[in-house]
Chain A
Amino acid sequence: MSTVVDPVLRVRDLTIRTRSVELLRGVDLTIGRGERVGLIGESGSGKSITSLAIMGLLPDNVQATGSVRLGERELLGTPERELARVRGRDVAMVFQEPMTALNPTMRIGDQVAEAMLIHHTQPSRAAAADRAIELLEAVRLPDPKALVRAYPHQLSGGQRQRVVLAIALANDPALLICDEPTTALDVTVQQLVLDLLVRGVEERDAAMLFITHDLAVVANVCEQVAVMYGGRIVEAGPVNEVFRRPRHRYTQGLLAASDLAVDPHSGQLRAIAGSVPAAGRFPEGCVFRSRCWKATDQCRAEPPWTGAPHGPGYACWHPAQSEVIT
């Protein structure tokens, strides 16, 4: 998000549409080496379609315009054959559900080794098998020499997610995308997996895009954060700024809800009214105005980005004044 000179990932004006519906509009994201950026918002805000666009995994029936650059390489419009060489090597991904990310009929060791053999990052099967054991050891799985012979169903959810992480890190990617990687895990297991994720990218000086609806996880893992709603980035900046002094009303609402803060007047937990509209049903102008408690007629017009272009800022007509959370 900050003004990085040589970003690993540089997304500019990314817009994605189906024939009838706009899913994403004008998304900008910049992630530098060793930087960890959180992308937050509720389900249906457009977070996952953003990550699919970066991975070149968009379905055929959607159109993407703008630019997604990984280092020097433009990914939008690149043929699948070339993308397949980038995916799993330069950019890797950890998804929410570790069971579906692993092949149930293949031994753990072979799955980790396969990631390296496909991209020719190890000279031989034997070398890849040895490296697989090291990688499993690095994610602190018990007895990796025996574990390589196990199948996914013999592992717990947390263990499986650590195998997925070992595969993602196998080729030392420049960018790791994590889409709700710990949402399905218990809190104590979550802590361990987050720890391993951060250590994995730090050791490689890799960039990380961390997608989640859990603001507390972002506060613990990332330095920068982008808040997404209705397919747009509505606020972005350093975690310390955005979470302490949220300016966009959506960010403010999310923060109150995630801290289970009680409204002193009603005695009830603070919540954002209503729910996320279906794609294509967001209002014109400010996308959040149909749920915003501060919305006025002015919000029928699209709010401009206040702040640095492509950098920290927000898009709100009635921003919160520096309400410091203590």
Chain B
Amino acid sequence: MSSTVDLQGSAQPPQGEPVIEVEDVRRVYGRPRSGLFGKAASVTALDGVSLTVHRGEKLGIVGESGCGKSTLLRIVAGLHRPTSGRVRVEGREVTGSDRDLAWLRRRLQVVFQDPMSSLDPRMRVGDIIAEPLVGLRVEGDHRARVAELLEAVGLDAEAAERYPHMFSGGQRQRISIARALAPRPQVLLADEPVSALDVSVRAQVLNVVERLVADLDLTLVFVSHDLSVVRHVCERVVVMTRGRIVEEGPTEQVYTHPRHDYTKALVAAVPSVRRALTEERGVG
């Protein structure tokens, strides 16, 4: 195990002022009858979630599809409204129309999972990356900023003239990261940013995220279904299932000594080459 050392060393308790405060947030979706196995009139995606993220912290949120992790992220980003409860970012309540939330977009940006569907195929990469600058009316030389961002994520400056389909999945995700960082946000939310990527490229993109978060002193919230990925990026993790947080703690501790049964099942289910070779076969 010597080569998979913990990047952060021992996790420090959270310090600095709170940047994101989530207070008893519930989100209920109405749903038409869809019932082979019982009818569901409504789905409680979030069932009383409270969470605080401090400045400079790197927090992971893990859980499986439908556990509410993406809903939570979208509510923090002001893309969804909570049914009840409150969300504050840098002390200001996330509420109101899109136009009211311009302040939030300057401070907080999101990288989504699927780099194909989150980039407009008809726009040049340079325009995609500059779009938040235009939308938020950020002053300055946008071309120069785009070149700087492309370099920061490890792409050639000429990429600005090309279209998304001309790039591989990993490169497209770098473009998404560049776009998110364009308005110089303090907080970066990442929703399964490497889940759609090949394993080889996954490590590249994680390295880019890690380096930029460190260089720019960002606060990071990283959502993933894979605890082994979160382990390399985040010092603290919360585990969600069925709209609730069931476990929380330093990532290394949660990964090596999970306490909740759900976390244990989640850790055990992640296949690993090392474990398959050294232990009994997991399957068969």
- Interface on A for B, CB 8 Å cutoff? 42-44, 142, 146-147, 150, 153-155, 157, 186-191, 194-195, 198-199, 202, 213-217, 219-221, 239-240, 243-244, 253-262, 264, 267-272, 275-276, 325-326
Contacts of B170 in A (CB 8 A): 275
Q: B230 → chain A, closest Cβ, in Å?
A: 11
Is B99 engaged at the interface, CB distance under 8 Å to the other chain? no
Proximity bits, B248-284, A CB within 8 Å = 1, else 0: 0000000000000000011001111110110001111
* Chain B residues at the A interface, C-beta cutoff of 8 Å: 2-5, 7, 34-37, 64-65, 168-171, 198-204, 206-207, 210-211, 225-226, 228-229, 231-232, 265-266, 269-274, 276-277, 281-284
| Smallest CB gap from A275: residue in B | B168
Contacts of A258 in B (CB 8 A): 199-200, 273
Q: How far is the CA of A253 from the CA of B198 in the complex (A)?
A: 13
How far is it, in angstroms, between the C-alpha of A155 and the C-alpha of B272 when the chains are bound? 29
Taking the closest CB of chain B, its distance from the CB of A86, in whole angstroms, is 27
**Given A257-B199, A261-B3, A268-B207, also A214-B271 (CB < 8 A):** yes
- In the complex formed, the residue of A with least CB distance to B278 is A326
**Cβ contact within 8 Å between B269 and A188:** yes
Q: Which residues of B contact A154 (CB under 8 A)?
A: 34-36
Q: Is the CB of A254 within 8 A of B199?
A: yes
Contact between B201 and A271, CB atoms less than 8 A apart = yes
> A150's closest neighbor in chain B, by CB?
B36
Contact check, B277 vs A264: say whether CB atoms are below 8 A apart: no
CA distance A9 to B201 in the complex (A): 32
Using CB atoms, name the residue of chain A closest to B284: A198
Chain A interface, DSSP helix/strand/loop, else mixed? helix
Residue of A with least CB distance to B196? A183
Name which residue of chain A comes closest to B210, CB basis.
A268
Instruction: Please give me the residue from chain A that is nearest to B204 by CB atom.
Output: A271
Quote the shortest CB–CB distance from B269 to chain A (angstroms).
4
Q: How many A-B residue pairs have CB under 8 A?
A: 135
Pick from B198, B229, B269: contact of A191, CB below 8 A.
B269
Q: Please give, as numbers and ranges, the residues of chain B lying within 8 Å of A254 by CB-CB distance.
A: 199-200
Q: What are 6 A-B pairs at a CB distance below 8 A? A: A154-B35, A191-B283, A216-B270, A216-B272, A269-B232, A271-B204
Residues from chain B with Cβ under 8 Å of A195 in the complex = 283-284
B283 and A194 contact, CB distance less than 8 A? yes
- What residues on B are CB-neighbors of A276 within 8 Å? 168
A188–B266 alpha-carbon span in the complex (Å): 7
9 A-B pairs closest in CB distance: A219-B276, A271-B203, A216-B271, A269-B203, A186-B64, A258-B199, A187-B269, A198-B284, A271-B204
In the complex, which residue of chain B has the Cβ closest to the Cβ of A276?
A: B168
Question: If A150-B36, A253-B200 touch, does A202 touch B4 (CB 8 Å cutoff)?
Answer: no
Give every chain A residue within 8 A of B3 (Cβ-Cβ): 256, 259, 261-262, 264
Residue in chain B with minimal CB distance to A142: B37
- Contact (Cβ within 8 A) A240 B277: yes
Q: Is the CB of B232 within 8 A of A260?
A: yes
CB-based nearest A residue for B205: A271
Whether B274 lies near A259 (C-beta < 8 A) is yes
In Å, the complex CA distance between A184 and B269 comes to 15
The 8 Å CB contact of A243, one of B35, B168, B207, B277, is B277
If A157-B65, A214-B271, A268-B211 are given as contacts, then 6 extra A-B residue pairs at C-beta distance below 8 Å, sorted by A number, are A43-B169, A153-B34, A191-B282, A215-B199, A219-B273, A272-B204
B232 to chain A, nearest CB (A): 6
User: Would you call B4 and A186 a contact (CB within 8 A)?
Assistant: no
Question: In the complex the two chains form, is A260's CB within 8 Å of B266's CB?
Answer: no
Residue in chain A with minimal CB distance to B226: A187
Closest residue of B by beta carbon distance from A244: B277
Check B229 against A42 for contact (C-beta < 8 Å). no
